[in-house]
Each structure stands twice: as C-alpha cells, then as structure tokens.
A and B are shown apart, each in its own frame.
Chain A
Amino acid sequence: MHKLAEGFSVSATVLFVGSIMVAGVLLHPDVAQAKTGEEIFQSGCNACHTIGGGRLVGPDLLGVSERRTEEWLVKFVQHSQAMVEAGDPVAVGLFEEHNKVTMPDQALTKAEVLAVMEYAKTPHVIGAAQPDEPVALTEEDIVLGQDLFEGSVRLSNGGPACNSCHDVTNDAVIGGGILAKELTSVFSRLGGPGVRAILGSPPFPVMQEAYKDEPLTELEVKALVGFLEQADSEQSLHQPRDYGIGLFTSGVVGSGILLAFYSLLWRRRKRSSVNQSIYDRQVKST
C-alpha cells in the first residue's frame, strides 16, 4: 500500500512539472514573436559584415544566398569553427582569406538565418561602418582609451572594463584577464573598421551579453580603437621587462631583512622545552 501511494505521488509530480514546462515553452514570448531579417542583421552581423558596403572583417553578404546553398549557410552560421576544423574546403578558404579570424557561432535558428539571407538580397548600406575612412585622433583620446581599457576610468554606461577579460602587451596598462583573446595585434588582424564595428555591436556571445544593456559610446569606441591602434604599432617597444639577476637578488635580500627583523622581534621567544636538558642527557634507544 505504501509503495503504491509512493508511485502515484511520483507520477503525479512528473505530470505536473511536465505540463508546466510545456506551457512555458508555448507561452515563451521569444518563440512566439519572430524577428525580421533586418533586426537580426543589425543586432550583430553588422559588426563584421555589410550588405553591399564591401568587405569589413568578414565578406560582404550581398546576394550570398546565390553563391552558397541554403543548407551550407545555415550550418556555417551556426557552427563555422567546427566546419573549419572538419576541413570543409569553402569554409577553410574563407578562414584563410580573412586573416584567420574565426566567425563566432551564432545562436540563430534556421528560420532566422534564412530571414537574414532574404534581407541580404538587396543592398542596405546603412549603419555599417565606412571602411578606410580616416579618423582624427588626439593624444587625449589615446590616454582615455588606455584608462578605459584598464578600468581606471569607468565606461559611461557602466559596462565592464576591457581588461576584465582581455590582455594587451603595453606598459601603460596593467595586465588584464586571460578569459578572452589577447588584443595586442588585433588592429592589424581586423583593421580599424573591424575593431570599431565589433566594439559598436559585439558579435561574440559573451561580449554581447556583457554589453547588452551597457553599450559603449561613440567617443569610447573611438578612444579604445585609438589605443589599440597605438598598442599594435608600438608592440615591439613594449616587451616584458627583463630584471635579470636583480629580481632574484632583491628577493633573497628582502627575505634576509625580514628574517633578521623577526629574529629581533622574537629574540626572547621560548626556544625549547623547559625540560630539554633532562631529555638530552638520556640514552636513546636503538
């Protein structure tokens, strides 16, 4: 009787929880409301791609659906890195062509990818950064960039400082995190417009999440790009400093001084057991 009652209560629980989950899925607003191709493109793709605006970090997407099959496109958007690793010839070709910058895997459904492709059938040169447009940078901008990168000046919208996750070899800033890519030569890899576009609307899932509600301002983007450009061009001047034997010596001397200090402090300490002399005179057994 006991066992039966128990079994009943378990199945009732499973049913109850299950129905709640189904309801949750059905009622979830994101599922119910599909985004348009334009919205999706503007919310991430435009960091690296244009539609009819020429090559940015990645290729121009105008009419891409005519160049590739639908199936390939969906697969590539969702798992580009896996495809490169698997040795898909077209994917590897693209990877080599674009300075070995991998395209982050996008959390988009098949329908969403197709919506973007539909949108990309006609040119839309809006919102995307203009390549090769010279930007006027002042010394202050670069210093601000340093400070923003390091976090000594807070991002005005409250986003986390760059060095929480990134590092850059530059004496002006303290070492950063190793959670994300090292950025010393990012400028030569992606070019000014690419970096600017990524900072403007990050395509990487973690970065996207981090700056979703706290985007960088125009000025901050400009300053950071300026700093990264300088860091890239001056990287040969900013190598880790070699202290030689000095570091080791100062360590030894420092410990010596500390030891001497504490010996002085503890000179009246209790050095041995009160009965040590009694113990010492006794014959040790073998």
Chain B
Amino acid sequence: MTSRRRSRAGDLKETLKGGDARILNCLTPHGKWHIHSTYMENHRMLTLSRGCEPVWMSEVDAAELEIKDNDWVEVYNDHGVYCARASVSARIPKGVCIVYHVPERTVGIPKSQVRGGKRAGGHNSFTRIHLKPNYLAGGYGQFSYHFNYWGPIAPNRDTHVIVKRMDKVVF
C-alpha cells in the first residue's frame, strides 16, 4: 500500500488488516429523486429505478474488481457494511463510488457475507455518526432506531470504503 492510500484509510484500519484492497471514495450527491428528505422507496419509484438504491461505480474500477453491472456488492469499512447492487457506469469517475440516498435494509437487502451472514447494512452504517446532544433530549422520534427512523444523518457521506462482489446472495 502506498503512503498516499494509507493516509486515506482512516476508516479502514481494521478492514485493511485482511489484506490490500482497492479503496474507493464513497460520496452522496443529490440524486434526481432524492431532493432533501424525499424517499424513493415506494413501489412506483423503486420500479422506475433498480428496485433498490444501487452503488454507482466507474467502468474502470468495476473491471478491476471483477464486478459487472447489477451484481450484488458489499460496500464496507471499519464502521459498517452496506449491501447493494452495483450500477456500473461510464458516468462515474475512477476511484469514486456513489450512493444517492438512504438504503433501507427492510426492503430487499440480502444478508451480508463479510459480516458472517447477518442482516447488516442500511442507512449510515459506514459513516461515523456524530451525535449532537440535543438529539438525545426528550426521547422523540428523531432518535429511534426503527423502520424509517429519522436518526442523525451524516449529511454527506464522504468516506473511504472497500467494495466486494457478493458470490452468495441470501435473503
């Protein structure tokens, strides 16, 4: 591993103990159907997208990682894992992967293989959550881990992750 890559591996210290891997910068730009808190998880919008919230990757990275379009992948780092389908596109620059919006693991997300077959992933699992003290006040809905919970969201995920193809898809 080069020193340049090591410097970006703050979120990958444990993960990289498993061996050298391709590190991608995971970003969260606004998708066209995700203006602010707009969810696209109703049936109509899931049909119009890919039935899930995919991970967009560049053709170059995908070829190196032996990932083809619509393969199930696991995006993970020290904090957590997110299972999704890959959307391989010429539109994404090399070295970057994009997840537009919150994926809910309640809708069609298989069990994570890198986490020993547990239902892992979802939401902000691979970003560090910074709790503001006022989130803890009152016990209101904004800090409840349930379906569609409205927890503290790291507004923009800008973290480093490893992407791995899932060879086994178990729901």
Direct A–B contact in complex, judged by CB atoms less than 8 Å apart? yes
Query: In this complex, what residue of B is CB-closest to A284?
Result: B169
B170 at the interface (CB under 8 A from A): yes
- Asked whether B168 lies within 8 Å of A282 as measured between CB atoms, the reply is no
- Asked whether B70 lies within 8 Å of A282 as measured between CB atoms, the reply is yes
Cα-based distance from A282 to B50 in the complex (angstroms):
15
By a CB distance below 8 angstroms, the chain A residues around B167 are 283
- Asked whether A285 lies within 8 Å of B71 as measured between CB atoms, the reply is no
Q: Mark B47-78, 1 if CB is under 8 A from A, else 0.
A: 00000000000000000000011111000000
Chain A binding surface, main DSSP class: loop
By a CB distance below 8 angstroms, the chain B residues around A281 are 68
A286 at the interface (CB under 8 A from B): yes
- Asked whether B70 lies within 8 Å of A285 as measured between CB atoms, the reply is no
B103 at the interface (CB under 8 A from A): no
By a CB distance below 8 angstroms, the chain A residues around B110 are 285
Which residues between 227 and 286 of chain A lie within 8 Å of chain B, taking CB atoms? 278, 281-286
Q: Mark B146-171, 1 if CB is under 8 A from A, else 0.
A: 00000000000000000000111111
Cα-based distance from A157 to B147 in the complex (angstroms):
86
Cα-based distance from A148 to B68 in the complex (angstroms):
78
- Asked whether A283 lies within 8 Å of B68 as measured between CB atoms, the reply is no
- Asked whether B166 lies within 8 Å of A283 as measured between CB atoms, the reply is yes
Q: Mark B11-54, 1 if CB is under 8 A from A, else 0.
A: 00000000000000000000000000000000000000000000
Q: By CB atoms of chain B within 10 A, which of A278, A283, A286 has the most?
A: A283
Contact partner of A285 among B68, B69, B169, CB < 8 A? B169
Cα-based distance from A281 to B171 in the complex (angstroms):
19
Q: How many residues of B contact A (CB 8 A)?
A: 12
By a CB distance below 8 angstroms, the chain B residues around A284 are 169
Query: In this complex, what residue of B is CB-closest to A281?
Result: B68
Which residues between 93 and 116 of chain B lie within 8 Å of chain A, taking CB atoms? 110
- Asked whether A282 lies within 8 Å of B71 as measured between CB atoms, the reply is yes
Cα-based distance from A285 to B109 in the complex (angstroms):
11
Query: B49 to nearest A CB, angstroms?
Result: 17
Cα-based distance from A284 to B167 in the complex (angstroms):
9
Query: In this complex, what residue of B is CB-closest to A286?
Result: B170
By a CB distance below 8 angstroms, the chain B residues around A286 are 168-171
By a CB distance below 8 angstroms, the chain B residues around A282 are 68, 70-71
Query: B52 to nearest A CB, angstroms?
Result: 12
- Asked whether A278 lies within 8 Å of B70 as measured between CB atoms, the reply is yes
Contact partner of A283 among B69, B169, B171, CB < 8 A? B169
Cα-based distance from A251 to B3 in the complex (angstroms):
78
Q: Mark A38-53, 1 if CB is under 8 A from B, else 0.
A: 0000000000000000
Query: B111 to nearest A CB, angstroms?
Result: 10
Query: In this complex, what residue of B is CB-closest to A282?
Result: B70
Cα-based distance from A278 to B72 in the complex (angstroms):
14
- Asked whether B170 lies within 8 Å of A283 as measured between CB atoms, the reply is no
By a CB distance below 8 angstroms, the chain A residues around B169 are 283-286
Query: B25 to nearest A CB, angstroms?
Result: 26
Cα-based distance from A278 to B171 in the complex (angstroms):
22
By a CB distance below 8 angstroms, the chain A residues around B69 are 278
15 A–B pairs (Cβ distance < 8 Å), ordered by A = A278-B70, A282-B68, A282-B70, A282-B71, A283-B71, A283-B166, A283-B167, A283-B168, A284-B169, A285-B110, A285-B169, A285-B171, A286-B168, A286-B170, A286-B171
A residues contacting B by CB (< 8 A) are: 278, 281-286
13 new A-B contacts at CB < 8 Å, known A283-B71, A283-B168, A285-B170: A278-B69, A278-B70, A281-B68, A282-B68, A282-B71, A283-B72, A283-B166, A283-B167, A283-B169, A284-B169, A285-B110, A286-B168, A286-B171
A-B pairs with lowest CB-CB distance, top 9? A285-B169, A283-B169, A286-B170, A282-B70, A285-B171, A281-B68, A285-B110, A283-B72, A283-B167
